[in-house]
Amino acid sequence: MTSLVPGLKGEATLVVGPEHTAESVGSGKVGVLATPVMINVIEAAALATVEPHLEDGHQSLGTFLEVSHIAATPVGMTVRATAEIVTVDGRMVELKVRAEDEIDALVTGPDGWLEIYEDENYDDTVRRFGPNSRHTRLDDHDN
């Protein structure tokens, strides 16, 4: 079993570069942090919280995220995301997540939520598509 317990925390940061803008990733025409990139930073914080506590050979997979991106972050500014485990129910872990830049919170309300599953959904993906499918994790591939 894992050592995942409520209260564990993790974080991730990103200095926004031109490649992280809505214009660059195709999610808009503005040169500020793209929402998909903000979500990626939040997921990185969740991974930093959970994965060090998983058994060898296990990984996590995010399945639900609820946040609203409410502030624009320009190129050059640092974004910081945090995650804290709220509940653990078998393989399901619920986290409270936040993201902020150097000036404002980037998500509405005091918290967002990310649910992850340990290992199970990845196994289902491998069963459905095979270990060398583009639908499985990249480090399973030889290239």
pLDDT, tens digit, 9 for 90 and up, residues 58-110: 778 777 888 889 999 999 999 999 999 998 887 788 888 999 999 999 986 44
Which listed residue (20, 43, 82, 84) is catalytic? 43
Contacts of 33 by beta carbon, 8 Å cutoff, 6+ apart: 16, 20, 21, 22, 72, 73, 74, 77, 79, 101, 106
**Mean pLDDT value of segment 34-49:** 93
Identify the burial level of 89 via C-beta atoms within 10 angstroms of its C-beta, where 0-12 means exposed, 13-18 middle and 19 or more buried: exposed
Whether the pLDDT of residue 134 is over 60: the answer is no
58 is catalytic: no
Are 1 and 59 spatial neighbours (Cβ–Cβ below 8 Å)? no
Catalytic pick among 35, 58, 115, 136: 35
Per the annotation, the verdict on 49 as an active-site residue is no
**Going by C-beta distance under 8 Å and a sequence separation of 6 or more, which residues neighbour residue 115?**
62, 63, 64, 92, 93, 94, 95
Active site residue 43: yes
Q: Which two tokens stand for residue 118?
A: 């340990």
Catalytic residue among 11, 53, 69, 94: 69
Query: What Rg do the C-alpha atoms of the chain give, in angstroms?
Result: 16
pTM: 0.79
Q: What is the mean pLDDT of residues 40-47?
A: 92
Sequence-distant (6+) residues with CB within 8 A of 94 are 85, 86, 87, 88, 113, 114, 115
Percent of the chain with pLDDT over 90: 48
Please, where are the H alpha helices in 28-105? 35-50
pLDDT at 6: 95
